[in-house]
Amino acid sequence: MASKWWQQSVFYQIYPRSFQDSNNDGIGDIKGITARLSYLEKLGIDAIWLSPVFASPNVDNGYDVSDYCAIMPEFGTMADMEELIAAAKKAGIKIIMDLVVNHTSSEHPWFKKALAGDPHYKDYYIFRSDKNGLPNDLNSFFGGCAWEHLPATNEYYFHLFAKEQPDLNWENPAVRKEVWKIMNFWLQKGVGGFRLDVIELIGKIPDQKIIGDGPALHPYLQEMYREVLAGHDVVTIGETGSVTPLTAPLYTDPKRKELSMVFQFQHMALDEVAKTSKWNLKSLNVSELKTVLSRWQTDLPKEAWNSLFWSNHDQPRILSRWGNVADYPTKSSKMLAILLHLMRGTPFIYQGEELGMTNQYVDKISQLDDIESIHYYEEEKAKGSSEATIWQAINTKGRDNARTPMQWSNVPNAGFTGENVTPWYNLNPNYTTINAQTRLDDPESIFYTYQKLIQLRKKYPLIVWGDYDLLDTAENIFAYTRSYEGETWLICANFSDSKQAVSLPYAATETIITNYPHTYHHLNQLNLLPYETFVVKLA
Ligand code: TEU
Ligand code: CA
């Protein structure tokens, strides 16, 4: 397959509400992003995945869209958006829109007309009569029943997320045509592609309790390709919560003309008790992480393509989750960055990950913004769970952890908004020490590790195309090789806070990158320090 730009790119995800405020209303906005393009150019990224900026009542912070072809007034105007696309293009950065088309906001005109009884628009959604009671026991991902009762009209409508996010009926060709129109509208604006929110759900058949991977899912994606994507050199990234290395090629094999790549979440489930929920915590087993990530490196057919991420706006911050904030913040954040970015696939950096931003600590419901965490708190309180258990889970896995404002400097409000402004959401108090300014001033900071990893990816085709082989090492040693055109690199990490002896039957001719001031030659008697990580070229 001819190589694609998005296979050699590094993406950066921006959660616009929390990135940069430009008009001192305490809310991040599009002009703020444009003002920060030079920072992103310095980092070296090639594309921005922009979380939704469309008109929305913000029940789910933009993942509840009320007009797909208008900009949320708090974020600015369509002119601001056009300016961002143009300025980013000049900086060599593509803008990828976050398309949320499994559902709309209940404020969308389509849904309002449906509620008013318009039969054309009722068929845009999933309504069922209440004459036989609840259609079935399906639940929403945000807790509670997935069927919202409308007593006035003796019916229910279906929502897999909040009740303010009614699911669209993709079986209806008119709905699909509306989506193609929206996508073409944004392609004409010059965007570089789309991240497709919960796209695996669009083939759902609620009456048969089929939610993900419905029979019509791939036909819909092939229709999307025919109607919108064919002929455009754009990227599509599917958010597919239950995809496996076996099913991923169904989305990403170019011969199937569907998507470019998918976000898989198997590694993100390794610290939750299997088959329960994200809130049911268990500690990470590094062997399981090695197995899962390696499976995505080796079981994907060459023609399929992988995304690589630790963090996003739904996940806790990786340094708090699987790094070591207390004793080895810099070493462990560099270990995580190097381990992931030397793998095969397109890396995604989440805003603030390149600064080593961390989770925040909360212990009052007034400190929560995220609907998912608020529902969880209420449900657990109703069940009689202890506050300690609830807050332990929220502080560990709550989505608000990733949504505290970007920490630019050590002034009040961290340069995110004016010093005397009340930001829409509380900053993490550690912005006084963890911020872009301190990282840019420190040549040994995590920022420059990310910058170098991006430079290496551009310089060495081995990183993009090389074969991956996991080495058989002790549990806490994560070591693998990448081989390409006769050259082999070895990547080795001590994924622990204790010294680890490791013996690797290799000799190194060059140290590419490391998080300790060491160089590496014979690798057969190494005593790695906590989180010590290195990449070497093998003899
Ligand atoms: O997330 C879908 C999804 O998988 C989430 O329910 C995720 O499992 C959960 O947030 C993990 O804690 C997408 C968006 O990324 C998310 O922000 C939206 O809330 C959701 O869809 C509905 O649009
Ligand atoms: Ca603003």
> What are the backbone angles phi and psi of residue 269, rounded to the nearest 5°?
-100, 5
The alpha carbon of 391 and the centre of ligand 1 are apart by a number of angstroms equal to 20
Which domains are present in the chain?
Answer: 467-538 (2.60.40.1180)
Q: Provide mean pLDDT across the span 193-209.
A: 98
Specify the ligand 1 atom closest to the Cα of 63.
23
Pocket probe mutation, ligand 1, options 13, 167, 197, 312, max atoms within 8 Å of Cβ: 197
Q: Which of 322, 309, 359, 307 is nearest to 476 (CA)?
A: 322
| Radius of gyration, CA atoms only, the chain | 23
pTM over cut 0.85: yes
Q: Is the CB of 143 under 6 A from ligand 1?
A: no
d(CA 278, CA 271): 8
Q: How confident is the model at residue 276 (pLDDT cuts 50, 70, 90)?
A: confident
Tell me if 99 sits within 8 A of 183, measured CB to CB: yes
* In the predicted structure, residue 1 carries a pLDDT above the cut 70: no
Specify the ligand 1 atom closest to the Cα of 60.
19
List of residues 6+ apart from 41 with CB closer than 8 A: 91, 92, 93
Tens digits of residue pLDDT in 119-154? 999 999 999 999 999 999 999 999 999 999 999 999
> Measuring from atom 17 of ligand 1, which residue has the nearest CA?
314
> Measuring from atom 18 of ligand 1, which residue has the nearest CA?
63
Q: Tell me the C-alpha to C-alpha distance, in Å, between residue 225 and each of 57, 256, 257.
A: 30, 10, 6
Q: C-alpha 74: how far from its chain's center?
A: 23
Tell me if 318 sits within 8 A of 353, measured CB to CB: yes
Q: Tell me the C-alpha to C-alpha distance, in Å, between residue 125 and each of 111, 198, 236.
A: 8, 17, 25
Tens digits of residue pLDDT in 31-53? 999 999 999 999 999 999 999 99
- Which region holds residue 58: left if phi is over 0, alpha if psi is between -120 and 50, else beta? left
d(CA 337, CA 348): 11
Tell me if 12 sits within 8 A of 49, measured CB to CB: yes
Instruction: Please give the torsion angle defined by the CA atoms of residues 363, 365, 368 and 374, in that order, rounded to the nearest 10 degrees.
Output: 120
* In the predicted structure, residue 327 carries a pLDDT above the cut 60: yes
The pLDDT, as a whole number, for residue 274 is 86
Tens digits of residue pLDDT in 407-459? 999 999 999 999 999 999 999 999 999 999 999 999 999 999 999 999 999 99
Q: How confident is the model at residue 302 (pLDDT cuts 50, 70, 90)?
A: confident
Q: Provide mean pLDDT across the span 357-372.
A: 97
d(CA 197, CA 177): 18
